[in-house]
Structure 1
Amino acid sequence: MREQVTEARRIVVKVGSSSLTTATGGLDASRVDALVDALAATQAEVVLVSSGAIAAGLAPLGLSRRPRDLATQQAAASVGQGLLMRAYNDAFARHDRVVGQVLLTVDDVTRRAHYRNAYRTLRRLLDLRAVPIVNENDTVATEEIRFGDNDRLAALVAALVHADLLVLLSDVDGLYTGDPALPTSRAISDVRSPDDLANVDIRRPGKAGVGTGGMVTKVEAARIATTSGIPVVLTSAPQAARVLAGEEIGTLFHRLRERPQARLFWLAHATSPRGRLHLDAGAVQAVVRRHASLLPAGITAVDGRFAAGDPVDLVDVGGVPVARGLVNYDAAELPTLLGRSTLELAAELGPAYEREVVHRDDLVLL
């Protein structure tokens, strides 16, 4: 038995469209019921991140396949989201469980105030013994639909609610070294470090006809979660009950470190940089090796339009991001400060300019 699973007190489970719907669209009630039965059987608190709104809306609208244009995708999501929630509500009601719908967009995980508010909502639902069902708000969002999958969202939600485990349910029963259909591919039961993925080909597309995710997004989600101290199990949806019971099936991604501060995790994984600060070699060493604050003297150039308090990437002489931080100056202010010491700036411009460009407490290494 896997202790990481049996000892988990709060679990985030993500299920893809292909695990809930038929190949032509429309919800498969038997699949929904089987998933809910597995979730209801566990003693842990459960947050369900569920795809399927667009897929569920295809058949009622007479669409034979997932549309490519954004307006029709949003129309399908508008119809399908209600159907999806009704199916979950009916299935969980058989277990005397109440469900709550939580629709999120990129802003809800990239803006700090929204991020905190999402946490309070999810936390309160769990306190009231309800099952939060999270999905991207496809009816109004654009970037999420183009990104096309809830795997990354599930990893961010797992960190947001301080989960003990993330379970990714797909149409394959685990991670393989190549295409599972090929006899040369080997199943991988444990991933303990990035080195274990060195010879794994995850570039193949997903098999689902109505889903959009592939193995790449699931491995990336596992990376986000495990670097925030959360182990991940990847397997197929029909195996959900066995996985949640602790059986050693599927692929277990072991956590890579202890849980970091929530604020630093948010900065590293849930923000989008508004600009870039180019550092000289000395500044890179100071930030990366000595964990020092970034001063104006070590910056050689500034890209982007940002305001004080926005996240920016700190890049080395080759343009590779080495850190991300919250900047203390507007983009328009910085060009006149570059290469100058804080003492020089304070003497010429006043004590307000003696501050760091990015303080080390507002900085996370990438």
Structure 2
Amino acid sequence: MSREQITSAKRIVIKIGSSSLTGKAGSALDADAVNKLVDLVAACKARGSEVVVVSSGAIAAGLAPLGLSTRPKDLATQQAAASVGQGLLIAQYTQSFNRHSITASQVLLTTEDVVRRSHYQNAQRTLYRLLQLGVVPIINENDTVGTGEIRFGDNDRLAALVALLISADLLVLVSDIDALYDAPPTQAGAKRIHEVTSVADIENETLGGAGSSGVGSGGMVTKVEAARIATSAGIPMLLTSLEDADKTLAGQDFGTHFHAHASKTTSRLLWLAHATKPHGKLVLDAGAVKAILERGVSLLPAGVTAVEGEFIAGDAIELVGPDGVVIARGLVAFDSEDLPKMLGRSTKELAAEMGAEYERELVHRDDLVLL
């Protein structure tokens, strides 16, 4: 990633973690930290960039007012803390942006807003219009109503999906760790990774887990996954700290730079890979696995040995090899209840017996993405 790519980015998504905004668990929101981030956003806007902020911190901000010293483990208390903290969070942002005469807005998302295509497009239209109006959207996961089954789990992934959603030019993750390291940064001899040409190059690195502040849910693993999503879409990513963010965005050698892929995966396939929730599985024989992985073909009934789960035509499902390993995700063309009588049979045989509508793929190659 060149300095020019960073400084010339016209649409930027900046994500900031809970620990950068509140410090240790039980602390109140740090107004100075919010102001520092807002000043950074204002500087980006002053040079002509549109900026979306993905902000953690609702649960963390709600801990102190509720007299809690650690992030609660049960969902109901997390939701209560988020309900208290989200208002405090957006109020602090609004007050801080007022110093620059910039209007900020609140956008709360659940996984349904990016999993279901119609919701995805509605969220996209809203964000585009806010940017056209010069507003800085402040996005957070809707922790107040989210459940364990339907949550993003961390805002790093959410930020990457938002970058994909609005076709951003740059994704910036602001963390309490200033960069990616080749070992836990507290370990003696740990070295900063200045740039990552391909996420595959660091898969064997020891990246560590969640942070030590006790208020977040992510960690370096989730940040690398966010980089995988963004760079696959042709969007470069920066990982930096709040202290170094201005210098990193100025193109200086701080943080870690993740290079975008030269060949972009289509937004539709990225949506399918990262933003959909699979409703079931198709178990494939070894021949079908090889054909899909090596030749990029569509999935036909002859290569399927079993069906798991209940789904309808158009749902996202996982394709699983005989060993149980998920190899791909795709949009299925038939209801699950129709499939058992089709398995292991050719499309011509099915068409002759059941009608012409059965002479087609279970999952077309255009609706399939390898994982």
Give the alignment's TM-score, normalised by structure 1.
0.96
Alignment partner of 2:202 out of 197, 201, 212 = 197
Q: CA deviation at 1:26?
A: 1.3
**Kept in 2: contact 1:103–1:137 (CA 8 A):** yes
Counterpart in 1 of 2:303?
298
Q: CA deviation at 1:195?
A: 4.8
Q: CA deviation at 1:148?
A: 4.3
Alignment partner of 1:28 out of 16, 27, 30 = 30
Counterpart in 2 of 1:242?
247
Task: Letter of the 1:172 partner, please give it.
Answer: I
Structure 1 distance, partners of 2:149, 2:238, is 24
Counterpart in 2 of 1:121?
126
Q: 1:215 to 1:297 in 2, by over 3 A?
A: same
> 2:337 is paired with a residue of what secondary structure?
coil
- Runs of at least 4 residues of structure 1 off by over 4 A? 144-148
**Kept in 2: contact 1:314–1:321 (CA 8 A):** yes
Q: CA deviation at 1:220?
A: 1.2
**Kept in 2: contact 1:17–1:55 (CA 8 A):** yes
Counterpart in 2 of 1:159?
164
**Kept in 2: contact 1:138–1:145 (CA 8 A):** no
Task: Please list, as runs of the form range in 1=range in 2, the aligned pairs for 1:131-210 lying within 5 A after superposition.
Answer: 131-143=136-148, 148-210=153-215
Q: CA deviation at 1:29?
A: 0.5
After superposition, the C-alpha distances for 1:184-242 in whole angstroms (9 at most, x for unaligned) are 11111011123531552113431223222211111111111111211111111121211
**Kept in 1: contact 2:13–2:163 (CA 8 A):** yes
> 2:240 is paired with a residue of what secondary structure?
strand
Structure 1 distance, partners of 2:164, 2:149, is 19
**Kept in 1: contact 2:23–2:213 (CA 8 A):** no
**Kept in 2: contact 1:106–1:144 (CA 8 A):** no
RMSD of the TM alignment (CA)? 1.7
Counterpart in 2 of 1:2?
3
Give the alignment's TM-score, normalised by structure 2.
0.94
Structure 1 unaligned spans of 5+: none
After superposition, the C-alpha distances for 1:42-73 in whole angstroms (9 at most, x for unaligned) are 13111100000011111222222222222121
Structure 2 distance, partners of 1:76, 1:87, is 16
Structure 1 distance, partners of 2:260, 2:231, is 4
Structure 2 distance, partners of 1:306, 1:292, is 22
> 2:248 is paired with a residue of what secondary structure?
helix
> 1:96 is paired with a residue of what secondary structure?
coil
Structure 2 distance, partners of 1:206, 1:351, is 56
Structure 1 distance, partners of 2:114, 2:218, is 20
Counterpart in 2 of 1:85?
90
Structure 2 unaligned spans of 5+: none
> 1:135 is paired with a residue of what secondary structure?
strand
> 1:325 is paired with a residue of what secondary structure?
strand
The percentage of counterpart residues that share the same residue type is 63
Structure 2 distance, partners of 1:291, 1:139, is 42
Task: Letter of the 2:321 partner, please give it.
Answer: D
